Amino acid sequence: MSRRTVAATIVRRDCSGDEVATHQRELRALAEEQQFLLASEDMLVVDSDREFPLLMATLPLNEVNAILVPHLRHVIGWLDLMRSKFEVWTVHPLRCWAQKTASSESQSLSSEPGR
């Protein structure tokens, strides 16, 4: 696997509670295991998803191709938007939510019954 640049390793305090440090360690371990190159040593720790619009607007889209989060609940409600630009990886469960491209969306729509 080639090394990837991951600019966003996101932990939400409202989801992690007392586990913020644990979740940060898990994200670093995931990055190492999957051979991701972190764009920044600083983990993004936000209070809630209210900070996501600014976060999404400031990520360097030409460098970033994945976002790592501890659990899906950290990005619930934002997953589709994030997947329009990045892969989204979760630690629990270990899963890659692949990036959705315009062509994959149209293929999905054309394969619906009755179309």
Eight-class DSSP state of 24: H
Closest CA to 79 of 95, 63, 103: 95
Judge contact between 63 and 42, C-beta under 8 A: no
Model confidence, pTM: 0.82
Encode pLDDT of 37-93 as tens digits: 887 767 889 999 999 998 888 887 778 889 999 999 999 999 999 999 999 999 999
